[in-house]
Amino acid sequence: MSPFIAIIFIAVAVLFILGIKLMGSPKTARYGNLLAAFGMLIALAATVPLLGSWETSQLLHGWSLNYILMVVGIVIGLIIGAIGAYSVKMTAMPQMVALFNGVGGGAAALVASLEFIKEASTHYEVAHETSAFITGSMLFATLIGSLSFSGSLIAFSKLQGYLEKPHTFPGQNVLNGLVLAVILGLCVYLTGWATTNSTAFIVMFSLALVFGVAMVMPIGGADMPVVISLLNSFTGLAVAADGFTINNISMIVAGTLVGSSGTLLTLLMCKAMNRPVTNVLFGAFGSGGGGGKAGASDLAGKTVKPIQADEAALLLGNAQQVVIVPGYGMAVAQAQHQVRELSDELGKRGVEVRFAIHPVAGRMPGHMNVLLAEANVPYDQLCEMEAINPTMDRVDVCLVIGANDVVNPAAREDKSSPIYGMPIIEADRAKTVIVMKRSMAAGFAGIENLLFYKDNTRMLFGDAKASLQTLITQLKAS
Amino acid sequence: MSTEILVFFIFVLSIFLGFELISKVPSMLHTPLMSGTNAIHGIILLGGMLALADASSRLALALGFIAVVFGSANVFGGFMVTDRMLQMFKKKKK
């Protein structure tokens, strides 16, 4: 690599670093993303002179096919990416990120595989030595990349609702551990003794794909944000390992930045749920553990109190302080615009409206913020959980729209509950709680919600969008 | 000091840099940030291009082609979807 191109790649790394930095503040976030994208374009342009070595001209014919495939491949990817990015609804964003992450992981695994093929085919012709470090990176990239690929596809399917329930069986963790042990054993074997054994490599690759599926299958849909974030950091690390293999600094820096920031993000998300990351990955949470069922039987004698829309409208219209707690249900019903309209209507009547955003509400951190931003809800109305909880006693009406586990008082009261200890929005402390819900089905964690049975709770059943529309009409009429 | 050690040194520094960069991000920006970093690891497209340029067998051509398609979808889709999200954040500032 010429010094000039090397300097360009260093500049690219700087652009990525600045881009991520700027993405950390709402005012500069968009600029930061564009800066990183600009860096990426430069990196792509700077790669062109590095492609192939023109000296070996006897392969020129073959190369022209390579370049045609390259251009066609980039264009196809661009079209797929653009269609995906611009056609996806804001509510389906998490799935989209999972997919893009998955294909990135797949690409990382394939790039490493191609290095392996090259290695295997040149090994006997040229006296050439590959260090264990390089081989190790290559195997790491293959393993992590393919795991991230298959895991992301499962995460995507779960969020799309194809595979919502966690799949578990006895001894699953042991079996997964065994698969992982075999994979690692093969990696050690390939690194130390048989750099060119394709059979071992193919077995390793396939097992890594299987392991990705096996790892994500037992995890419930509610934990998918954590999984996607983790797989995102995995793909980053795989890309960094590929950078080691093909000796490209900007791939190392970019991949590592994603790997470490993704890991931190994953830990932050687990912290918000007050669960260690190991519990999310191996706990098979949401499979209906003993705690959840015990909670349900306690509630056998209790009933919920339904409310009609006109009464709910009256309560809201006469309140001084209203807190709206949005959740995944709002996303599913696409009700964010109605939520905003309701909030505006209440604002006109002098009601103080705030939104309480739980860090893990929805299917991704910040999911609710994105949706409410789409509906033009002003920033200053959005409050974080820590800010809203101390003021909850003074709130007249707390309107819960499609949120469930994040307002479940079991996290505070029921020591046997799987979510015990998770920080929640303390909706039950408001004078009246109105819960908008389609049915009495349990939330994604699969546990009963004690909030629904509280004396100050009223249930407004029905589709969130339709119910909100009725509320708005009633308010306007009164 | 060998090149490998130097490169590894860069790797270790990048780990700490990654932690520092996002430690102070408000939670509402976590989704766009996840999406943005997702786009950045799309730099794997470079690796795909380099590998495809070197491919000399049918198998290598096929795998390289898939890698380029995947990498390209990751990088372009990733940045576009992030921009779309962030655009919405900006719009509502009155």
Q: pLDDT tens digits, residue range A145-176? A: 999 999 999 999 888 877 766 666 777 778 88
Q: What is the pLDDT of residues A55-102, one digit of tens each?
A: 444 455 555 788 888 999 999 999 999 999 998 877 788 889 999 999
Residues from chain B that touch A343, judged by Cβ atoms under 8 A, are none
Pick from A101, A251, A264: CB nearest B19 = A264
* C-alpha span between A246 and A252 (Å, rounded): 10
Q: Average model confidence (pLDDT) for chain A? A: 82
Domain limits, chain A: 1-50, 96-282, 292-477
Using the beta-carbon criterion (under 8 Å), do A30 and B86 form an inter-chain contact?
Answer: yes
At A164 the pLDDT is 63
For chain A, the three-class secondary structure string (H helix, E strand, C coil) is: CCHHHHHHHHHHHHHHHHHHHHCCCCCCHHHHHHHHHHHHHHHHHHHHHHCCCCCCHHHHHHHHHHHHHHHHHHHHHHHHHHHHHHHCCHHHHHHHHHHHHHHHHHHHHHHHHHHHHHHHHHCCCCCCCCCHHHHHHHHHHHHHHHHHHHHHHHHHHHHHCCCCCCCCCCCHHHHHHHHHHHHHHHHHHHHHCCCCCHHHHHHHHHHHHHHHHHHHCCCCHHHHHHHHHHHHHHHHHHHHHHHHHHCCHHHHHHHHHHHHHHHHHHHHHHHHCCCCHHHHHHCCCCCCCHHHHHHHHHCCCCCCCECCHHHHHHHHHCCCEEEEEECHHHHHHCCHHHHHHHHHHHHHCCCEEEEEECCCCCCCCCHHHHHHHHCCCCHHHEEEHHHHHHHHHHCCEEEEECCCHHHCCHHHHCCCCCCCCCCCCCHHHCCEEEEEECCCCCCCCCCCCHHHHCCCEEEEECCHHHHHHHHHHHHHHC
Q: What is the pLDDT of residues A2-61, one digit of tens each?
A: 788 889 988 999 999 999 989 888 888 889 999 999 999 999 998 888 776 544 444 555
Residues from chain A that touch B48, judged by Cβ atoms under 8 A, are 73, 107, 110-111
Who contacts A111 (Cβ-Cβ below 8 Å, separation ≥6)? Answer: A141, A145, A242, A245, A246, B44, B47, B48, B50, B51, B67
Pick from B7, B65, B87: CB nearest A30 = B87
DSSP state of B28: G
The answer to whether A322 touches A354, Cβ cutoff 8 Å, is yes
CATH code of the domain occupying A292-477: 3.40.50.1220
State both tokens at A397.
């009406």
Inform me whether the pLDDT recorded for B92 exceeds 50.
no
CA distance B4 to chain A (A): 8
Pick from B38, B72, B90: CB nearest A77 = B72
Using the beta-carbon criterion (under 8 Å), do A246 and B28 form an inter-chain contact?
Answer: no
Q: What is the ipTM of this complex?
A: 0.93
The answer to whether A171 touches A189, Cβ cutoff 8 Å, is no
Using the beta-carbon criterion (under 8 Å), do B36 and A19 form an inter-chain contact?
Answer: yes
What's the CA dihedral at A211, A214, A217, A219 to 10 degrees? -80
Residues from chain B that touch A115, judged by Cβ atoms under 8 A, are 51
Inform me whether the pLDDT recorded for B17 exceeds 80.
yes
At B94 the pLDDT is 40
Q: What is the pLDDT along chain A (478 residues), one digit of tens a residue?
A: 678 888 998 899 999 999 998 988 888 888 999 999 999 999 999 888 877 654 444 455 555 788 888 999 999 999 999 999 998 877 788 889 999 999 999 999 999 999 888 877 765 544 445 677 788 888 999 999 999 999 999 999 888 877 766 666 777 778 888 888 888 888 888 877 666 777 888 888 999 999 999 888 888 766 788 889 899 999 999 999 999 988 888 899 999 999 998 898 888 877 776 667 777 777 654 443 333 344 444 555 677 888 888 888 888 888 889 999 998 888 888 888 899 998 998 888 888 999 998 877 776 767 788 888 888 888 788 888 888 888 888 899 999 988 888 888 888 887 777 777 778 888 888 888 998 887 776 665 567 788 888 888 888 888 888 888 888 888 888 7
Q: Which of B2, B34, B59, B94 to mutate to test the interface with A (most CBs of A within 10 A)?
A: B34
| Residue of A223, A242, A405, A428 marked catalytic | A405
* Residue A405 is a catalytic residue: yes
- This prediction has a pTM of 0.80
At A1 the pLDDT is 64
At A444 the pLDDT is 57
At A283 the pLDDT is 65
